[in-house]
Chain A
Amino acid sequence: MKFLLIGECREGKLLEYSYELFGFASQAGAETAMLLVGEEGTLPGYGGTVYLADAGKYGEYNPDLHKRLVQAVVERERPDYVVFMHTSYGWDLAPRVAALLKAPQVSEVVALAEGGGFERPCLSQKMRQVVKPQGTPVVLTLQGGAFPALVPGGTPQVQPVDAAGEGKVEFLGYEAAARKGVDLTKAEVIVSVGRGVGKKENIPVIAELARVLGGEVGASRPVVDSGWMDAGNQVGVTGQTVSPKLYVACGISGAIQHLAGMKKSGFIVAINKDKDAPIAGVADVLVVADVMQFVPALTAKLVK
């Protein structure tokens, strides 16, 4: 069984999570080759074949050309699976590749299932489904963090790869992350606000608990999107990755993007009225309660 792994470069660097592709291939016991649109300096620590397309020529983001580069390597390697990470690059490119190859695609794989099936989350991570792709090659995207990062070691044999044509999407440039607000990465205690607090006016109640615990206030993505709190407070893949001694999640259901940003916290308390919310999967303590009733009661008891 052979996997073609699609690595990912941004601003001249190989993205760390590309190594999770090797972890997945190793777990599946597959032979591997990798395709990277990058440069010599972005090669992974890997002794296999790396098909390298010049990022200077093809751009780090140019999906219409990148899909043809994938196709060119697929024709040479004849892989059984073409594997991406489920990232802004992977979920954008994988369906284009699947359409071009007339291949089945399974998104956001979290585990291998028996008989050639794949397990993936559904219903906002609350449930799992197992699906079975029909035919080969199969296009997969992997959920970040689902498989361990693995650096195989060695120096790759580099094969150049090229593709012709024009892209329909013109890349204009990157915009750095807004880093105003608090540096949550240094906080020992973070009390985070989720949509479960109900409304913006309730946030001071949560902030008061943070103050009493000597911590900072964090936020989940929907809270930032709704304009209740500043983007500088956001915890998660698109915000800050934190690991305080104590993390208190108030009314946060636990989207995978949020969990990835806080699951390494020392001790996690989740306050949520939905006992099945995915946050329960990473919490040390789950308080099943209305956050706006529980938090003031907790704060009051703590100041006594």
Chain B
Amino acid sequence: MKILVCIKQVPDMESRFKPDASGVWFAETDLAFRVNEYDEYAVEQAVLLKEQLGGEPEVTVLSVGADRVVEAIKKGLSMGGDRGVHVQDAAAHLKDSWQVASIIAAYAVGEGFDLILTGLQSQDRGSAQVGVTIAELLDYACATTAVGFEYADGTVTVKRELEGGVKGTVRLKTPAVVTCQLGLNQPRYPTLPNIMKAKKKEVRVIPVAELLHQEQRVAPVEFRAPARKGSAVVLEGELADQVDRLIGILKDKTAVLR
């Protein structure tokens, strides 16, 4: 069995974001990058399945992006992936979701993956398109928003998270794409020995030009902070002073404190 996990490297969401020179995306200066949270669940699910099947499946961890994304691939390998693929693209942030999906599909089409796992969405762009579009391009079955995953004999049973706490159970046959929602499993922390082992695992580099054959369909034109709808009173400064001011406001504005 061959499993592909598609992961993205994204900036730490607690950062402050400013536009880059193009004005259509964020500047990377001073940002720390990490693996997209949703994709960590995808890596974990792939490794859990590999363990369930006695180590037989081969898990490939793929990421599209600048050279910094190799660090994300290494994390996937230290969690238990077998080999990495780095689609090298310093301008990945300017590709739309359609192009990114087409790049990954162009890589995967000849590889015969039985299962492709990825996050429901990325934390930075958050389009929730790439996983589903890969499935469409490869003509694979696809289930999104997985909070439950079982595999047996070429059949995947996925519990999808719907609104209001309701779940929907679906069954699909491999080859299939499953996109992972937060809470699907408990992503493991790589151990030191596994981090050392991961350093020796193969990461194949493919220049994006070899895989990109599609034009952009959605052009980014602007990047900015949201207009502040809120009119929150902001309390900063000394802790004791903040406490007193908050209690004053609560006494004034709510009937909760008397």
Binding site for B on A (CB under 8 A): 10, 15, 61, 63-64, 86-89, 91-92, 94-96, 98-100, 103-108, 113, 117, 121-135, 168-179, 188-189, 213-214, 221-222, 224-225, 227, 231, 234, 237-239, 245-246, 253, 266-267, 269-270, 274-276, 280-289, 293-294, 297-298, 301-302
B183 in contact with A134 (CB, 8 Å): no
A274 in contact with B14 (CB, 8 Å): yes
Known A10-B162, A126-B17; judge A245-B226 contact (CB<8 A).
Answer: no
Q: List 9 A-B contacts (CB under 8 A).
A: A94-B129, A98-B133, A99-B133, A129-B25, A170-B171, A174-B167, A179-B165, A231-B165, A293-B239
Chain B, 197-228, contact with A by CB distance < 8 Å: what is the 0/1 string?
Answer: 00000000000000000001111111111101
In the complex, chain A residues whose CB is within 8 Å of the CB of B250: 246, 267, 269
Cβ of B192 under 8 Å from chain A: no
- In the bound complex, how far is the Cα of B137 from the Cα of A59, in angstroms? 24
In the complex, chain A residues whose CB is within 8 Å of the CB of B121: 91
Known A173-B168, A239-B165; judge A286-B254 contact (CB<8 A).
Answer: no
What is the minimal beta-carbon distance from B216 to any residue of chain A, in angstroms?
A: 7
Which residue of the partner chain, among B17, B126, B136, B247, contacts A107 with CB atoms under 8 Å?
B126
Which residue of the partner chain, among B160, B243, B254, contacts A298 with CB atoms under 8 Å?
B243
Cβ of B30 under 8 Å from chain A: no
What is the minimal beta-carbon distance from A6 to any residue of chain B, in angstroms?
A: 15
B239 in contact with A237 (CB, 8 Å): no
Which residue of the partner chain, among B123, B231, B236, contacts A123 with CB atoms under 8 Å?
B123
Closest to B128 in A: A91
A132 in contact with B232 (CB, 8 Å): no
Majority secondary structure, B binding face: mixed
The stretch from B81-89, B111-119, B139-147 touching chain A is B139-147
Known A123-B11, A169-B170; judge A281-B183 contact (CB<8 A).
Answer: no
- In the bound complex, how far is the Cα of B159 from the Cα of A262, in angstroms? 26
In the complex, chain B residues whose CB is within 8 Å of the CB of A173: 168-169
A267 in contact with B254 (CB, 8 Å): yes
Cβ of B153 under 8 Å from chain A: no
Known A269-B246, A288-B236; judge A177-B226 contact (CB<8 A).
Answer: no
What is the minimal beta-carbon distance from B203 to any residue of chain A, in angstroms?
A: 27
A131 in contact with B220 (CB, 8 Å): yes
Cβ of B1 under 8 Å from chain A: no
Closest to B227 in A: A128
What is the minimal beta-carbon distance from A187 to any residue of chain B, in angstroms?
A: 11
In the complex, chain B residues whose CB is within 8 Å of the CB of A171: 168-170
Cβ of B166 under 8 Å from chain A: yes
Closest to A231 in B: B165
A108 in contact with B126 (CB, 8 Å): yes
Closest to B228 in A: A281
The 4 closest A-B pairs by CB, nearest first: A177-B165, A225-B183, A104-B217, A168-B141
In the complex, chain B residues whose CB is within 8 Å of the CB of A15: 163
What is the minimal beta-carbon distance from B135 to any residue of chain A, in angstroms?
A: 8
Cβ of B172 under 8 Å from chain A: yes
- In the bound complex, how far is the Cα of B186 from the Cα of A222, in angstroms? 12
Known A96-B132, A246-B254; judge A280-B230 contact (CB<8 A).
Answer: yes
B123 in contact with A124 (CB, 8 Å): yes
Give residues of chain B (9-30) contacting chain A, Cβ–Cβ below 8 Å: 11, 13-14, 16-17, 24-26
What is the minimal beta-carbon distance from B208 to any residue of chain A, in angstroms?
A: 20
- In the bound complex, how far is the Cα of B163 from the Cα of A173, in angstroms? 15
What is the minimal beta-carbon distance from B178 to any residue of chain A, in angstroms?
A: 11
